[in-house]
Structure 1
Amino acid sequence: MVAKKDISAGGFFSREFRMQALAAASVNIITYCNGISIGWFAPMLAKFQSPTETPLNFVVNVGESSWMGALIGVGGLTGNIFFGLLMDVIGRKACIYLVAVPHMCLWVLVYFAPSVEFLYAARFASGMTGGGTWSVIPIFIGEIADPAIRGRITALFTLTLNVGMMTGYIISSHVSYHIIPVSVILLPVLFLLIETFFPETPIYLLRSGKEEQAKKSLKFYMNHRDSMEKDTEQFNAKFEEMKSAVKRQQSQKSVTLRDYFTKRSLRALGIGLTVLFFNLATGSYALLSYMSSIFVAVKTEIHADTNTIIIGAVQIIGSFIAIILVDRFGRKILLMISTATTGLSLAAFGVYAYLVERTNINLSSFSTWLPLVLMALIILTANVGIIPVPAVLLVEILPPKIRAKAVAFCLCLTSVFAFTMLKVFPLLMDAFSVATAFWICAAFGGLGFFCITLFVPETKGRSMNTDEE
């Protein structure tokens, strides 16, 4: 067994972790790009629907805008399936390159859009990019990262996504429509160039029978120096552990449907799907998509652009806190704290919405700040745990033999639920009330706290190469 390392001894960017951290940062450039497209769309949708503000030669109606909102979920489902199946065939690295293709297509479609159908296709491409990043990047990082920093550098995924969304919010308000695609499309090109410096994961190379390449890859990611005896000992121990794990997996029969129905696999799939379900059921994804409508409904006096930028900053702060804490306190405790506090914050916002919608109480002295503060609390507490941690937990808890396809399966179901949530949430607010919608999400937050407390194990420090109960 390889001795566990203490990150506090050498620091996050100590020599032995440096290449892993740089690889995680570089691969998340495409996540940042995807965040820009998501953040850019949110305020642009209102402009597309306005005859005086639309930058295009046509106006989008309410029905078309709802499809534009939901098609990202369809694209996400397609990306989950496509990249999830392809990962074990052509490798993690090749899939990472391919993820950039739909993203570049997205900006070409946006630039030339002569009709709403081009915007539909652009949203589908955005979703496919997102589905690909969710499928490939956590597995890629999980397979190159030392357990001491795996949680932190996997959580970079959510941080870069949120920074990208914040960038999208800002440029949509201050940069001309046709300049944005021309500028942003350069980022995936840069991403492709940078990625050429980082090798395929050693685990995938070993499974492909490329032992010498696997050795070089592991040496690269461990920042190994042949002249240092300690480095050589650690490398040999790590490589032998990987080889043994891969041989053990390959000595078994090829993956069959039965492998997904073992007690170990079903338990892992159940836990993964449960956490992903509460990731969406607590409502943060829907709230970000319909935030402007929510603030209008509760009669806030803060400008929509100001709200959006502040919430974007809060997302980044929450993601940064998660990166600091996820390897210190573990996955389970962050999920417990996050679901509980998000649920309470949702309930509090629901109370405020109820007072606005159903009573005659004068809340004018609160309308300039309280809705924003409550929404910021929801987004902050969600980004500390229930949004970023499922990506970490999912790749750690699933057995190596079925991991790639099982992750894709879980994310496919998540995309279906995300699509449903985005279609149902505004109808729920309209048919009942904003308060009711928030209280339902709050109830799921409470239920999530109890389910995670009772059924979700701690996965901090687990080996990615062996099955662990």
Structure 2
Amino acid sequence: MTLKLRLASVFDNPNCLLGRRNRHQFLVTLLVNIATFSHGLGVGWMSPVMRDLQTDESPLNFPVLVGQVSWIGSLVGIGSVVGNLLAGFLQDRIGRKPVLFFIAMPYTIFWCLVYFVQSVEFLYIGRLMAGMTGGACYVVLPTFISEIADTNVRGRLGSIILLSVNSGVLAGYIVSTSADYYTSPPFILALPVCYFICNFLFPETPHHLIRKGKFEAAKRSFMFYKNIKRDDLKAESEFEELKYLLTKEETEKAKSYDYKDFITKPAFKAYASAAALLISNQFSASFCVTTYLSDVFAASYTTLNLSMCTIIIGVLQIVGNYATTLLCDKYGRRILMLISTSGASICLTAFASYTYFAKRYDLSVVGWLPLVILSFFVFLCNIGMVGCLFVVLVELFPSKIRSVGVSTFVVILSSTVFLTLKIFPICMAVWGISVTMWCCSGITFSCFLYFCFFLEETKGKSLLEA
């Protein structure tokens, strides 16, 4: 009886994700993140496969050159930009749900092209398709989740996006090293099929339905996501307030939605903070380190096995993202960004210093140190700069320009991914890994200073606030 009472008290807690109020929001978030897990799986699976394609044991019946492999790797960034633009253009016009359905199509094409590959062009197009899925995910999922989630759990649900991606990356790495090239795709194709079917289980967001004037459908959607009965007077009042605020917002937008909305003081503050988020996310080398992990470890003079190091880093990415889901709504976004940027800057300085001295002296007795430093670096990046990125990005912008603002910055982010992945290995070759990491540390510390003085806390902020 005591156990039942304890369980009841836990589920009655408004912050419990499995509580009655939040249960449907949490379960739907898990279902839509099948797409992000699948995207991460494709990225992780291709990483070791691209190395295999260049060897004499290549699984394909044609040679793949180094230059072609670089295009296979980078085309995912171009596809991501296309996905960003399509999702940003369509989600307010046709709704979040149709875009969610669309996400499954290019990803399915990717795995079909991988399986039936006849030339390197098949892999080019496939990676472009995979990038479209990822790019669309990063635009529509933060918007969708923020509109179905209550304020007190929005941060945790939003941070599941990156947690799911990194879980997929680790799973992809394990699958590609455990099964041969042609074994995996037929089984992995089940994921987009399941995702597509699951999309029939839940409705469009109430926010979008209200904006389109479909008030009855919006009310059913609101009741579904809040998991409450129609005779709940408090819920009825809550829905009417949401309806009033969104209708008022749409009326004002129809009257005065022009360029002036983009040059207000709140808008410029949002641009500056979004730019700092983007710079910290990309120029801290967080994505570059995980992408070029083997090269980074090889340049660090570590004495450890590279495959083991890769798996450990993959696990710590997940741990960092999971920590974000626990801490984001409890302690706020700002404190996590400050810890993340300051800690990552220290780790980058330490790693750069180690590689500088390891090149000149025999440090094999502490050959495990690069793994320790990079482990802390990856963990710290993922609790803030990576894990909180989309949560904060959605909450920063004024409501009238949120959709356009978020979509624009996600497109810029995808373009920057392509840029950083291209210049990082060049910097390592020209400057050396030590100077490259010191530069990244300086940029990350500059972002820490900006967040310290200018980043406002968005925890508990209503999405209807200007």
Give the structure-1-normalised TM-score: 0.94
Matches within 5 A, 1:290-369: 290-357=292-359, 359=360, 361-367=361-367, 369=368
Q: Secondary structure at the match of 2:93?
A: helix
Matches within 5 A, 1:39-50: 39-50=44-55
Q: Secondary structure at the match of 1:153?
A: helix
Cα pair 2:13 2:19 within 8 Å, conserved: no
Equivalent position of 2:192 in the other structure: 188
Specify the code of the residue in structure 1 equivalent to 2:99.
Answer: C
Provide, for residues 217-248 of structure 1, a one-character-per-residue CA deviation record: whole Å limited to 9, x for no partner. 00001101245xxx431x12321221122122
Cα pair 1:99 1:129 within 8 Å, conserved: yes
1:355: Cα distance to partner?
A: 1.6
Equivalent position of 2:171 in the other structure: 167
Percent identical pairs in the alignment equals: 37
In 2, the alpha carbon distance for the partners of 1:260 and 1:113 equals: 46
1:8: Cα distance to partner?
A: 4.7
1:344: Cα distance to partner?
A: 0.5
Specify the code of the residue in structure 1 equivalent to 2:449.
Answer: F
Q: Secondary structure at the match of 1:88?
A: coil
Cα pair 1:141 1:150 within 8 Å, conserved: yes
Q: 1:307 to 1:112 in 2, by over 3 A?
A: same
Cα pair 1:7 1:148 within 8 Å, conserved: no
Specify the code of the residue in structure 1 equivalent to 2:424.
Answer: F
1:299: Cα distance to partner?
A: 2.7
1:356: Cα distance to partner?
A: 2.4
Deviates more, 1:250-259 or 1:194-203: 250-259
In 2, the alpha carbon distance for the partners of 1:118 and 1:55 equals: 15
Provide, for residues 323-362 of structure 1, a one-character-per-residue CA deviation record: whole Å limited to 9, x for no partner. 10000000000000000001111111111111223x1x11
Specify the code of the residue in structure 2 equivalent to 1:90.
Answer: I
Equivalent position of 1:3 in the other structure: none
Provide, for residues 254-296 of structure 1, a one-character-per-residue CA deviation record: whole Å limited to 9, x for no partner. 3433322222222212212221221111111111111111111
Q: Secondary structure at the match of 2:423?
A: helix
Equivalent position of 1:287 in the other structure: 289
Deviates more, 1:314-323 or 1:258-267: 258-267
Specify the code of the residue in structure 2 equivalent to 1:445.
Answer: T
Cα pair 1:225 1:232 within 8 Å, conserved: no
Specify the code of the residue in structure 2 equivalent to 1:364.
Answer: S
Matches within 5 A, 1:394-405: 394-405=393-404
Equivalent position of 1:131 in the other structure: 135
Matches within 5 A, 1:151-300: 151-226=155-230, 231-233=232-234, 235-254=235-254, 255-300=257-302
Count of residues in correspondence between the two structures = 454
Name which of 81, 86, 94 aligns with 2:98: 94
Cα pair 2:151 2:462 within 8 Å, conserved: yes
Specify the code of the residue in structure 2 equivalent to 1:447.
Answer: S
1:110: Cα distance to partner?
A: 0.8
In 2, the alpha carbon distance for the partners of 1:137 and 1:372 equals: 33
1:120: Cα distance to partner?
A: 1.5
RMSD: 1.5
Equivalent position of 1:430 in the other structure: 429
Q: Secondary structure at the match of 1:90?
A: coil
Cα pair 2:253 2:400 within 8 Å, conserved: no
Give the structure-2-normalised TM-score: 0.95
Deviates more, 1:255-264 or 1:126-135: 255-264
Name structure 2 gaps, 5 residues minimum. 1-10
In 2, the alpha carbon distance for the partners of 1:105 and 1:401 equals: 36
Specify the code of the residue in structure 2 equivalent to 1:40.
Answer: W
